[in-house]
Amino acid sequence: MGHSVSVRGGLPPLEGYGVPTAFGELCIGWEEAVAGVRVGQIFLPGAASPAVRTTSHAAPPAIVELGARLQAFLAGEAVTFDLALLTLERCGDFQRRVLLAEAAIPRGWVSTYGRMAAHLGTPGAGRAVGNALARNPFPLVIPCHRAVRSDGALGGYQGGVQMKRRLLALEGVAFRDALHVSLERVWYL
């Protein structure tokens, strides 16, 4: 189903593609660019909903394929995503670096905000890393659910803490208790 999505921050409106999943419907906000179709934002089920109105536009094949990959991912399958589809250039330099570092964390692993900050050459900037991930316009494709606090606590997530927990469990991450992961498989040591 096609939608027109009004995106925050003064950016141009995006076309939208609704994707039904086991978690609820998510929306891929996309645009036609000179270089082809690009993803401007992904809206998770349960996150603050964008203003959406139905249009008659059919989504291009690249967006339909991304939707199918997101459905498979949310069904627990191991999938890869094409980061070239993302409008990462709209992110500031630090956020872009954080998002690319987060994208490198493999399925079944986590990292802490502090370890990511140290990996990026900004030790002590764990809170800034967390803030950059909180504004991730491409959740799931950039798997920000794989970042946790230094004690293994889940921290926040755009789709809610329960969604973050379910995503990590789907990926095989071990838990110490309901809200803390085991820190046995930490990326960026």
130: Cβ–Cβ under 8 A, 6 or more apart, which residues?
Answer: 113, 147, 155, 156
Q: Is 144 a catalytic residue?
A: yes
**144, 163, 168, 173: which one is catalytic?**
144
Confidence of residue 13 (pLDDT cuts 50, 70, 90): confident
pLDDT in tens, 174-186: 999 999 999 999 9
List the single range of 18-32, 36-50, 132-146 with lowest mean pLDDT: 36-50
Taking only the tens place, the pLDDT of each residue in 127-182 is 999 999 999 999 999 999 999 999 999 999 999 999 999 999 999 999 999 999 99
For tokens 């949310």, name the residue. Answer: 74
Convert the pLDDT of each residue in 86-111 to its tens digit: 999 999 999 999 999 999 999 999 99
> Looking at residues 9-14, what average pLDDT do you find?
66
Where does CATH 1.10.10.10 sit in the chain?
92-181
Report the 10 Å Cβ neighbour count for 112. 24
CATH number assigned to the domain covering 92-181: 1.10.10.10
With 80 as the cut, is the pLDDT of residue 47 above it? no
Count other Cβ atoms within 10 Å, centred on residue 49: 12
**12-16, 25-29, 91-95, range with the lowest pLDDT:** 12-16
